[in-house]
Structure 1
Amino acid sequence: MAFKIYVLVALVAAVAADGPTYRPPGPSYNAPAPPGPARYTFDWNVKDDNSGNDFGHQESRDGYDTLGSYYVMLPDGRLQRVTYDVNGDSGYVAQVEHEGEAQYPAYHPSPSYHPSPSYQLKPRYG
């Protein structure tokens, strides 16, 4: 019995050793090199009068110098605008401004739900 177990274990080990091995994909040498430092400009915004959403973003980059700003309408009614720049190794430097006054309307809870019965009780005896 022990001989059968030994043969079975040896057979499983031999099959596992010959199994497929993982090889990571090789680098692609056909990809073209970038023509130079990164240069781009983009701008987008969204204003939805139905929901009150108002936000956007603008950014320009030339090499390691990046300038941009974004804004968002806060729930308290103010507009928050962030202006930032990244100049080489100086890191991300931001200036945050708020426009308008915060509005906190009085809280009016909605009435509680009270289910009404969908049946009518009828007297059993006359």
Structure 2
Amino acid sequence: MLPQVLALAVLVAGASAGAIGLGLGGLGLVARHDVGVVDYHTPARYEFKYGVGDPKTGDRKEQAEVRVGDVVKGEYSLAEPDGTIRVVKYTADDHNGFNAVVSRVGHAVHPQPILVSKGLALGGIGLGGHIL
């Protein structure tokens, strides 16, 4: 019974892979040679974009890119910690390589440092080095 179950399992696996053939000797396994066709002549083309906006963490970013043939153009932006938005616009191709233009939108806001005055220490007068 076990040999029949194994033979059936091999036939089912081969049939699902398309590797079963019928020859003069009956049913058998054959090698597959149909690996898919790769078109090397049609120019590559894709386009995508995505974005993230998380109000809890303040994470904001976007990206968009388009490729036609050997030319890629795109841009991305992200929120900097100082409150500005960094925008990067780029192009890339075989002749000019990768070129990017970076700009900032908005005004940078930096938190003001808090100055702590330590006062005067009068350690030698009998106050035990306490700060006033």
- TM-score, normalised to structure 1's length? 0.58
How far 1:29 sits from its partner (Å)?
Answer: 7.7
Alignment partner, residue 33 of structure 1: 38
Equivalent of 1:52 in 58, 62, 68:
58
Q: Please give the alpha-carbon distance, in whole angstroms, between the structure 1 residues aligned to 2:57 and 2:51.
A: 15
Q: Please give the alpha-carbon distance, in whole angstroms, between the structure 1 residues aligned to 2:34 and 2:69.
A: 24
Q: Please give the alpha-carbon distance, in whole angstroms, between the structure 2 residues aligned to 1:33 and 1:65.
A: 20
Q: Please give the alpha-carbon distance, in whole angstroms, between the structure 1 residues aligned to 2:95 and 2:107.
A: 36
Q: Please give the alpha-carbon distance, in whole angstroms, between the structure 2 residues aligned to 1:34 and 1:103.
A: 52
Over the matched positions of the two proteins, sequence identity in percent amounts to 30
- Between Structure 1 and Structure 2, the one with more strand by share is 2
Pairwise CA RMSD of aligned residues?
2.0
How far 1:53 sits from its partner (Å)?
Answer: 0.8
The runs of at least 4 consecutive aligned structure 1 residues that moved more than 3 Å come to none
Equivalent of 2:67 in 47, 58, 61:
61
Equivalent of 1:86 in 69, 87, 92:
92
1:30–1:105 distance in 2 versus 1, CA, 3 Å: same
How many pairs does the alignment contain? 81
Alignment partner, residue 77 of structure 2: 71
- Unpaired runs of at least 5, structure 1: 1-27, 109-126
Letter in 2 for 1:33: V
- TM-score, normalised to structure 2's length? 0.56
